Amino acid sequence: MSLKVNGSASRRSALYATFLLAVGALALCSGRVQANPQLMSEVDTQAATEVSYANFQQWLRDFRQYAAGQGISEATLNKALDGVRYRERVIELDGYQPEFVRPIWEYLDTAVSSTRITNGQEKLADHRNTAQQMEQRYGVPAEIIVAIWGIESNYGSNFGDFSTLESLATLAYDGRRRDFARGELLAALRIIDQGDIAAEDMKGSWAGAMGHTQFIPSSFEAYAVDGDGDGRRDIWDSIPDVMASTANYLDRAGWQSGQPWGVEVRLPEGFDYAQTERRSSAEWRNQGVQAQQGELPNFDSAAIVIPAGANGPAFLVGANFRAILRYNNATSYALAVATLGDAIAGREGIQHSWPRDQAPLTRDDVQELQRALNRVGYSVGGADGVMGPNTRQGLRNFQRDQGLIPDGFATQELLEQLRQRSQ
């Protein structure tokens, strides 16, 4: 058993009695804990001055007492927490940051590969009746349900073999988002207590995402569905439950039956790339936006997405694209699910080429770009190495002022211009 005593103890300090009072006051009617981040920060700050856990097992004993106070049965606590180990590998993965910010075209090459398309078509054929039943029930197309299955776990071939309980306990003790992991661990215990899955069978990723379509425990509680009628919600071994749960999630996220996720478009010469507002299809059409093939869908509220800047493909995306983003809030992910679903259904893929000649930025490059934007007066906040909305807006403003196309797409050339300007 691996115990972390020194480095972890100094980082993982908590006054658990204070924590219990704070969390108890914040519990919602559903039983899921929603902590106020500011309050939790104050609790942790006070805790750090009073009690320091010597090791993981001491923390686990206190958490077990807390979970019992939240209504988890003694039998479940014995089955779920006896023998739970600290997993050093989980902390290594939690702290890992890849050197390069992967270009979207490289991500899509893997996520929507010919093998994954073929396998997806085979999976849809194997489970067509189930997928179509869920489509009728929730309004989510069968190919989208299968596409999420493919992106999340390669159709069940790789949904992880980490113990969800050990992963979440390790992250709650020593991870970057300890309060979040603590709440997810409690949710995992409730799932076991309700009889949906045995503790030893609760497997998933190092981060606590579980089963074929990678639900975290709180999402399982909110969206998982018994699709096969056996009285349990089993996203590990029941494909009907997997498909029903995935479709229910998207339905609850705002999926609009009968609407496409979006469409690839051609933008007119002189298009204002700085626009970030949603508009109706009619308004975009009046600006000269045209579908690559056919007509624009009739969206009441849609955005133009240009994930690789003005030199790459452009898309008009509606409510269903936003529903996919609720599953994973990354444009590359949503586009992968959408285009894999199209390919599984036999529809054509992206027509416009990607700017593959652009060298990717490293995270250090992005941090340098953020610092440079701040120095020359385009405030983007902290230099975290992530191309978030504030960084893209600051970059668009810089591009516009330099007479460039304000597409917010970071390149090595733009970084060099900023280096020169900020010296």
Dihedral angle sign, alpha carbons of residues 302, 308, 309, 313: negative
Is 92 a known active-site residue? no
Angle at which helix 319-327 crosses helix 331-344, to 10 degrees, equals: 110
Dihedral angle sign, alpha carbons of residues 48, 97, 104, 362: positive
C-alpha 228/C-alpha 130 separation (Å) is 9
C-alpha 214/C-alpha 204 separation (Å) is 7
SS3 of residue 204 by DSSP: strand
- Is the CB of residue 281 less than 8 Å from the CB of residue 259? no
Backbone angles phi, psi at 4, to 5 degrees: -110, 120
C-alpha 71/C-alpha 416 separation (Å) is 58
Could you give the strand order of the β-sheet that contains 290-291, starting from the edge strand earlier in sequence? 290-291, 262-266, 314-317, 303-305
C-alpha 196/C-alpha 365 separation (Å) is 46
Cβ contacts of 372 within 8 Å, gap of 6 or more:
415, 418, 419, 421, 422
Alpha-carbon distances of 291 from 280, 281, 337, rounded to whole Å: 14, 11, 20
Element (H, E) at 333: helix 331-344
C-alpha 422/C-alpha 419 separation (Å) is 5
C-alpha 251/C-alpha 211 separation (Å) is 19
- Nearest Cα neighbor of 286 from 193, 400, 275 is 275
- Nearest Cα neighbor of 383 from 367, 398, 364 is 367
Active-site residue identified among 143, 152, 184, 221: 152
SS3 of residue 143 by DSSP: helix
Catalytic residues: 152
